[in-house]
Structure 1
Amino acid sequence: MDDCLDGSSNGYAGRMEVIEGRSGRRQRSEAERAGIAAESLWPGARVVDVARRHGVTRWQVYDWRKKLAAGKLAVPDEMMSEPTFAALVVETPPEKPGKPSAPSPARRIELTLSDVTLLVEADIDEEQLTRVIRAIRAGAR
């Protein structure tokens, strides 16, 4: 009985070509993965949209988010260099009848991030305020 399944009985099987090079899979750096995961955490961002924009699957994004939360991925400094603030709303107190209201100097600033309200002095250092906001955001995850 002949054990050859696909062809010639004289031992010649045909031509085989080996192609070397990229496998088609993109290797992303840790910074890229962390950046994509962080982008998916922005308010209003949808994981499926972020994944499509970067050419990855949503399961990869979920995996990278889990690693980011566990501290196995670090968000690049470029993404965290500028704090993002909410829109500023200034409310004027209602005037009392018969008395014009004099403007009072602002001494404190009240910021609400997620469910945390932060009350700081108006002359707080910008870098210190940025660190505090980052800490609040990291703790809210």
Structure 2
Amino acid sequence: MDVPTAGYAGRLEVLEGPTGRRVRSEADGARIAAESLMPGVPVAAVARKHGATRRQIYDSRRRLRQGQLALPESMAPMFAPLMVEESSAPQPTMRSPKSAPAKVKIVIDDMAIRTAIDLEHLPQVIRAVRASR
């Protein structure tokens, strides 16, 4: 497709028509772009499967994001119903003054992070910063 390979290709496909190019409907383009957005699916594999180039797939993905293409009904996002259960756990109360947010400045090399954080979460933040170094 868009990557040169040495040796025998194994198959030759002749496209008829005035330009010798494939003409896909917008629904096909949207379906192929949506397939390439699935987790763990490489764009190159989708392009090979459908006889397209990666550039064509990326262009369709861009058009899909901008709303110029619409997903087919079968691929439209579906929503699960929201189920809310009453909790028997005690409801949170007002914060005590000792757990009020503290202003913290974290300096890592030439970067400084200033934030307000609950004191009870401060040890977790310190451990995360240490682990990131």
TM superposition score category, shorter chain reference: 0.3 to 0.5
Larger radius of gyration: 1
Could you state the TM-score of these two structures normalised by the residue count of structure 1? 0.43
Could you state the TM-score of these two structures normalised by the residue count of structure 2? 0.46
